Amino acid sequence: MEDILRAIVLGIVQGLTEFLPVSSSGHLIAVRELFDWQFADDLTFDVSLHLGTTVAVLVFFWREWAQMLRSALLRLSGGRSLESGGVYDDRMLLFVAGGSVPVAITGLALNSWIEDEVRSPIVVGAMLISFGLTLAFAERAGRRQRALSDLGLRDALLIGSAQAISLVPGVSRSGITIAAGLLLGFTREEAARFSFVLSTPAILGAGMLTLGEAIRDDKLSGNVDVIVAGAVFAAIVGWLSISVLLRLVQSRSFLPFVAYRLAAGAFLVAYFAV
């Protein structure tokens, strides 16, 4: 029962912070360290949280993904891509694929080093502060005039390269990619939308990797209730987080998230340094 309650708490934290620009991995590390939660099997919790956020982003953007895949299939079958599909056509699918390459290469090359060397609350605090200031700069400097219809492969690769930095806990996948989108001149909402769509392959890939590890190590059979509890809460809260953020940025800036990052980062650095 205790593991189920912990899975629910971590699911809420994961769902809330995966899509808000405040770093889910950083918050999960901080919560575990602050409450001194030592788990016999971290892999079970990782599976549940990744599955939950994967479901959240796929359900929220299912129309966009369906449109992109349908357009790509039409193109491959010799037909033309959909004229009425808006920006979510086979070109957008190409941009998402290209933008996902940097994080895939970086993850394969540096994942073990990141797991061993930088998963500490002080590193999380420092990254919250540093990349909070980066988001503040992007908020102030961005022209916020471009729409996703203006997106090109160069933009996708630059935003994708920024996404690779988010493998360091505390950076935030959504935070760094939204900041990159703002600096490239996109509006807040369009930068956030592309950030979430671009994150889908990375989140899905992480979920499949952890699920594969759990199946290989036979970790699923005795932990189904824990996995379901964490995944359900991560999915529900994640879906709500995406919805709230996309509505919020239509009329407000990202500066409240910057203020939160600075305060949380300062607290973590001070608390764990002492």
The answer to whether residues 50 and 207 touch, using CB atoms and an 8 Å cutoff, is yes
**What gap in Å lies between CA 61 and CA 123, rounded to an integer?**
32
The closest alpha carbon to 180, from 204, 201, 156, 150, belongs to: 156
**Block residue for tokens 């901080």:** 30
pLDDT at 171: 97
Rounded CA-CA distance 192/89 in Å is 18
pLDDT greater than 60 at residue 30: yes
How far apart are alpha carbons 70 and 64 in whole angstroms? 10
- Give residue 33's domain range: 2-273
For residue 98, give both structure tokens: 């290209």
> SS3 for 186?
strand
Comparing CA positions, the residue from 101, 102, 194 lying closest to residue 146 is 194
Task: Report the 10 Å Cβ neighbour count for 244.
Answer: 13
Q: Supply the mean pLDDT for the chain.
A: 89
For tokens 């929220």, what's the residue? Answer: 60
Is the model's pTM score more than 0.95?
Answer: no
State the pLDDT confidence band at 56, using cuts at 50, 70 and 90.
Answer: very high
Residue 51 is encoded by which pair of tokens? 């599955």
* Residue 259 pLDDT > 70: yes
Overall residue count recorded for the chain in this entry: 274
Tens of pLDDT, residue by residue over 158-212, are 999 999 999 999 999 999 999 999 999 999 999 999 999 999 999 988 888 877 7
Total of domains in the chain? 1
Longest dimension (CA), the chain: 64
Select from 145, 236, 229 the least CA-distant residue to 183.
145
Neighbours of 154 (CB within 10 A): 11
173, 18 contact by CB (below 8 A): yes
- Cβ contact 155:190 at 8 Å: no
Which residue, chain included where needed, has tokens 């970790």? 219
User: Which pair of tokens denotes residue 185?
Assistant: 């001149």
Which of 66-75, 127-136, 168-177, 237-246 is least confident? 66-75
Contact 203, 50 (CB under 8 A): yes
Q: CB 217: neighbour CB atoms within 10 A?
A: 11
The angle at the Cα of 135, spanning 173 to 161, to the nearest 5 degrees, equals 45
For residue 158, what is the DSSP state?
H
Coil vs helix vs strand at 146:
strand
- Span 98-133, pLDDT tens digits: 999 999 999 889 888 887 888 899 999 999 999 999
Burial class (CB in 10 A: 0-12, 13-18, 19+), 262: middle
At position 127, the amino acid (one-letter code) is M
Contact, 240 vs 60, CB < 8 A?
no
